[in-house]
Structure 1
Amino acid sequence: MIDTGLSQEKFSRRNTLAYGLLGLPLAFVALPLYVILPNHYAREFGVPLATLGAILLLARLFDALIDPLLGRLSDRLFARSARAVLIMGGLAALLLALGFALLFFPLVSAPDALLAWAGATLMLTYAGYSALSVAHQSWGARLGGNEAERSRLVAWREGLGLVGVVVASVTPVALGLPATTAIFFVALAAGWLAWTRSVPPPTKIEAALNAETKKTKVADTTNPVKPANTVDTDIWLPFRSAAFRSLLTVFMLNGIASAVPATLVLFFIQDLLQAPAALEPLFLGSYFLSAALSMPLWLALVKRLGLARTWLCGMLLAIAVFAWASQMGAGQTTAFVVICALSGIALGTDLALPGALLTGVIQANGDSGRAEGAYFGWWSFATKLNLALAAGLALPLLALFGYAPGVNTPTALNALLIAYCVLPCLLKLAAAGSLYFLVLKKPKLKPYLL
């Protein structure tokens, strides 16, 4: 098998670093976009929460809807050459950098013009971010590998991403947004250049030969191996797989559970905990740093329990931590640092394991080397839809129940507490139940978990 000779190089430390480094700037920019932006526009520009939620909802829905199309574009470019994918990634990186700068440094100040500017620059930024992310994730999936190799590759990408998030959580407060933007530009350029020097995915012929050797290893006969030298143009292809539908259901429930507190965390810190702004980097940094440090521990557990059971352990830990967070009150900053660290450890499974599971589904469906973009396009769609729902529903509902930034009435703070702690617990519980009953209890899905 041709791929076997390259396996050691593909999953070497040098190559996983070269491939995974782009995860750092992509995660670096995600924190300002999804966590800092709502708070920044509400406090700096006085945008009402309900209006802000509507803008974020529409922009993120646009972002989600284009992801499947970007996935098909990615597959077509992979069918041409790895170089075509890298060129598209470079153009997407330029679009992302431009949109980010214009979003946080608007050239207009009138209220109506500012709202239109925010919506337009958000869509511009999201388009660049999504095109680059889908292509990068598809590249990693096309490298193939067994369970341990897949999880290690994803862990490097997400672990470096967490380093980016930790830096992004500190720099806006310590250095300001202009310096943060400059650091992001440098990291993005370095990540793309490193990506261009990583081992490319197998060629069409190599992927076809690899697929042929795996035919006898796939237990699901309803998903026969297809020729790897073609690109399936059916955008709905992934949904023909029961394993993909089940995994996507779990991923979405779990993703909404994580997106809601990510949207509200700064409001929770500032108004319910009433913590000084100087402590915000400590809270965010401990969360993401703990996630990064937990990666080796979770990967070790994967070898004993498998991907799905390890992910379930992370969900249960998150439920326990958010239940504790619901008991927080003003001034309990030390306890909240511990909560951030523990929830960060749970986050490690959300980052490293679902993508590895999806790669296993693609392999078992016989779609390796031909349709990774389609799968990751819908995967990215689900991620963006989660973020859209979190902002589009949580912020207006908080406003409806009397909460606004700086309002410390008991009713407002109770609404914030329920939205930040209780709702994620319920959603995580639903995700854990879905993982257990839709995936772990289905014997037919066993090949997808290995």
Structure 2
Amino acid sequence: MTPPRAPATATASAGTTDATTDATDATTATITAAAAAAAAAVSPPRWRLAAYGLLGLPLAMAALPVYVQVAAYYSMQRGVALATLGWVLFAARLLDTVQDPLQGHLIDRLRHGIARWLLLGGAMLALAFAGLWQPPASAVPAALWLGAMLVLAYSAHSMLNIAYLTWGARLSGGALLSASAWREGAGLAGMLIASVIPATILSGDADRIPARMALYSLAFAALLLAALLALLKLAPAWPHATPQPNGWRSALRRMASNRAFLRLLGPYFLNACSVSLPATLALFFIRDQLHAAPLAGAFLGCYFAGAACGLPLWTALARRIGVLPCWRIGMGLAVASFAGAGLLGAGDVLPYFAVCLGAGVALGADLAMPPVLLAGLIADDDAAGAYYGVLTLLGKLALALSGLALPLLAALGYRPGVGGGAALALVYAGLPCLLKLLAMAALRPQPEPMPVQLYRSRP
């Protein structure tokens, strides 16, 4: 029996259905290809993110000696009085603090001039850093020289660092957390170098310190140049932002109306103060409280090694639980690790190594989480450089205020080289723990900056 023939209308419908299916498949393929291309654009190759992160290494190599070791050097080797030294540090850091928002505004308006900006800042920083370690022999000219070199070094460091953070913040969302991890990982490697080599040089023969620090400065300048070239030639391209039509006043109004950003500023500042105080006083504490000056480099190396080891753990934890809870846990670990430091005395070397290790691991969260958290609070059409200018302003204001710890200790009777005492222990360890606890209490829930579980690249 011959089967019945399908009606013509049914055949036409079948053809239409097949054509529709083919069109749907083609559309799906096109969308899939577009999504794959977008994913590739969102997540640059790891080597490009590593090229971006490399600049963190020389920036840290310069920052650690300037913020931690230069005060002890001018006090112990050039005889600058502790109170005078503290006021010089405070004035130079305060001036540096004022200029950061202006630099952030200028960076926001850069389009094709980023290379000239970075290379100029790099040249200034290399010269100022070398000059810091070649002061006059007598105390008063040395104090004046220190002030001039600090202003130049701080200005150059701000030129580089604010542009660098803005560059990272403008990367596509898929690269943001990974770029931050590469940046902070390279920075911790630079801190390890800076904690061991300069500390070893500064604890050696006083007559050979200037020549040896000159060699260190030369190596720093070479690494800085290499990192800048890698950033400009190999990293994801500088993302051009649309300049704000109403200039800096519009940027200030938008920041002032960003309540999530304003809620972040208080805890960030308190936390920065809690980190800055021990950084300023660490070498004094190691020498006069622990009587372990030859181990200063080892202590600092342990601290930053802990931070380097902790950074990938914090990054992985942030992907799982979120950036803000991760930062809060890091703060708690810092308090738990550092709380007993003020009870240590002469010869307590092993307990202090444990303090350095625990506090160092916690430092990884302090370094990586705030920039990522801030990036999620900035709208696409906002001036990111202005936001990071304010953030670095607060960090440097905290550093400026930490310089006042030196005249405070002098007023409380502390004398370098004589002994630590309760005043040094309280200001070095007790006060930072209190500030950290206040920062934890002030930290309020923020919008998550990104779906952090999506990002896989890491150092």
The TM-score by the shorter chain falls in which range? 0.7 to 0.9
The equivalent of 1:222 in structure 2 is none
Q: Aligned-pair RMSD on alpha carbons?
A: 2.0
Cα distance between partner residues in 2 of 1:303 and 1:57: 38
Contact preservation (8 Å) 1:158, 1:352? yes
The equivalent of 1:97 in structure 2 is 126
Q: Secondary structure at the match of 1:379?
A: helix
The equivalent of 1:36 in structure 2 is 69
Contact preservation (8 Å) 1:319, 1:429? yes
Instruction: Give a deviation string over 1:216-253, Cα, whole Å, max 9, x none.
Output: xxxxxxxxxxx777574225242321111111111100
- In structure 1, runs of 5+ residues without a counterpart are 205-226
The equivalent of 2:178 in structure 1 is 152
Residues 1:233 and 2:245 are matched in the alignment: no
Shift of 1:446: 2.8
Residues 1:281 and 2:297 are matched in the alignment: yes
Out of 117, 123, 148, the position equivalent to 1:88 is 117
Matches within 5 A, 1:187-266: 187-197=223-233, 198-203=235-240, 232-234=247-249, 236=252, 237-266=254-283
Cα distance between partner residues in 1 of 2:246 and 2:239: 15
Number of aligned positions between the proteins: 405
Structure 1 runs, 4 residues or longer, greater than 6 Å off: 1-4
Shift of 1:202: 3.8
Residues 1:317 and 2:333 are matched in the alignment: yes
Amino acid at match of 2:224: L
The equivalent of 1:429 in structure 2 is 437
Contact preservation (8 Å) 2:173, 2:450? no
Amino acid at match of 1:163: A
Shift of 1:104: 1.4
Instruction: Give a deviation string over 1:337-373, Cα, whole Å, max 9, x none.
Output: 11101100000000011000010011xx343xx5111
Q: Secondary structure at the match of 1:109?
A: coil
The equivalent of 1:25 in structure 2 is 58
Point out the structure with max Rg over C-alpha: 2
Q: Secondary structure at the match of 1:403?
A: coil
The equivalent of 1:405 in structure 2 is 416
Contact preservation (8 Å) 1:154, 1:356? yes
Identity %: 42
Shift of 1:2: 10
Q: Secondary structure at the match of 2:60?
A: helix
Instruction: Give a deviation string over 1:240-286, Cα, whole Å, max 9, x none.
Output: 21111111111100000000001001111001000141x11110001
TM-score of the two chains, using structure 1 as the length reference: 0.86
Cα distance between partner residues in 1 of 2:438 and 2:37: 40
Amino acid at match of 1:35: V
Amino acid at match of 2:194: A
The equivalent of 2:192 in structure 1 is 166
Cα distance between partner residues in 2 of 1:61 and 1:418: 24
Shift of 1:127: 0.7
Cα distance between partner residues in 2 of 1:202 and 1:286: 37
Cα distance between partner residues in 2 of 1:42 and 1:2: 60
Out of 323, 332, 341, the position equivalent to 2:348 is 332
Contact preservation (8 Å) 1:171, 1:179? no
Cα distance between partner residues in 2 of 1:4 and 1:298: 30
The 3 A distance-change label for structure 1 pair 6 and 104 is farther
The equivalent of 2:17 in structure 1 is none
Amino acid at match of 1:116: L
Out of 394, 401, 410, the position equivalent to 1:389 is 401
The equivalent of 1:212 in structure 2 is none
- In structure 2, runs of 5+ residues without a counterpart are 1-33, 202-211, 452-459
Contact preservation (8 Å) 2:80, 2:142? no
Out of 327, 337, 361, the position equivalent to 1:345 is 361
**Segment of structure 1 superposing worse, 397-406 or 232-241:** 232-241
Cα distance between partner residues in 1 of 2:296 and 2:213: 15
Amino acid at match of 2:197: T
Contact preservation (8 Å) 1:307, 1:353? yes
Contact preservation (8 Å) 2:44, 2:236? no
The 3 A distance-change label for structure 1 pair 415 and 336 is same
Cα distance between partner residues in 2 of 1:161 and 1:203: 25
The 3 A distance-change label for structure 1 pair 5 and 203 is farther
